[in-house]
Amino acid sequence: MTDDAVRVRGLRKSYRDTVAVDGLDLTIAHGEVRALLGPNGAGKTSTVEILEGHRPRDGGDVSVLGVDPAHAGVAWRREIGIVLQSTADGAELTVAELIAHVARYFPRPRGLAETLELVGLTDKRDSRIRKLSGGQRRRLDVGLGIVGRPRLLFLDEPTTGFDPVARRQFWSTVRGLDTTVLLTTHYLEEAEALADRVTVIADGRVVAEGTPDTLGARDVATVVWRDGREQTADPAAVVARLSAAYGGQVPGLSVVRPSLEDVYLDLIGGSR
């Protein structure tokens, strides 16, 4: 086993005259949940498809679970799980039939009951797939992605169509998985809730990386009061100093930290 689940150096991919990925570097540790954020056209999909072994690259070095995806075999593919943005297979099968069918491709799959419970479809096990709602179909997609107990799980917009309650139930499921996860999402709240680290890409390059709390100097707060303002990574110390100076209550005091959305929009700038 290598030290990292994913290691990418200088990744490049172009489509004719359009550069989609431009020298991208990415490292994901084993057991980490990594969120990959970026506007449409930033290069997220191309990057993920190369890591999945579904798209050739033009340049760079890529290792996924210790193997170059461009030359990976069946044994490697059994170690990864993929949840695509949308699928439309098996319309006439039941939920249980499709999960059981996919499970046969893996040497040590989860049990049917466990998989159904993890994605909240126990009461739909005998329903035809064509009769599922959009959110239920999305849960089934996730079930198909995790039934093989993957060491690395790719989640591409996994909660599209989920209502708020279902989305939070899914977050709980992901937190309970003993696996490495690469998540792409447009829900910044989702990235903040799930990710150990966040990578933001724009124009095919990494523009920022860090924990959800520190990305883009998000850990720096602005303390504002009647007579001034100060940026600091330790707002409690500034407030204590001001309180001592004013002999108690500080007039007009407020402490403001940028949201993840504020930081993200600032980072991607003109790439939106």
Task: Say what the pTM is.
Answer: 0.83
Summarize pLDDT for 155-165 with one digit per residue, the tens: 988 887 777 88
- Tokens for 239, please give them: 């407030």
Residue 22 pairs in a beta bridge with 12
Cα distance between residue 117 and residue 103, in whole Å: 15
Give 31-56 pLDDT, tens digit per residue.
999 999 999 889 999 999 999 999 99
Convert the pLDDT of each residue in 53-85 to its tens digit: 999 999 999 999 999 999 999 999 999 999 876
| Closest to 201 in 3D by CA, of 40, 82, 85 | 40
**CATH hierarchy code of domain 4-213:** 3.40.50.300
Neighbours of 43 (CB within 10 A): 24
Domain positions in the chain:
4-213, 217-271
Taking all residues of the chain, what is their mean pLDDT, rounded to a whole number? Answer: 90
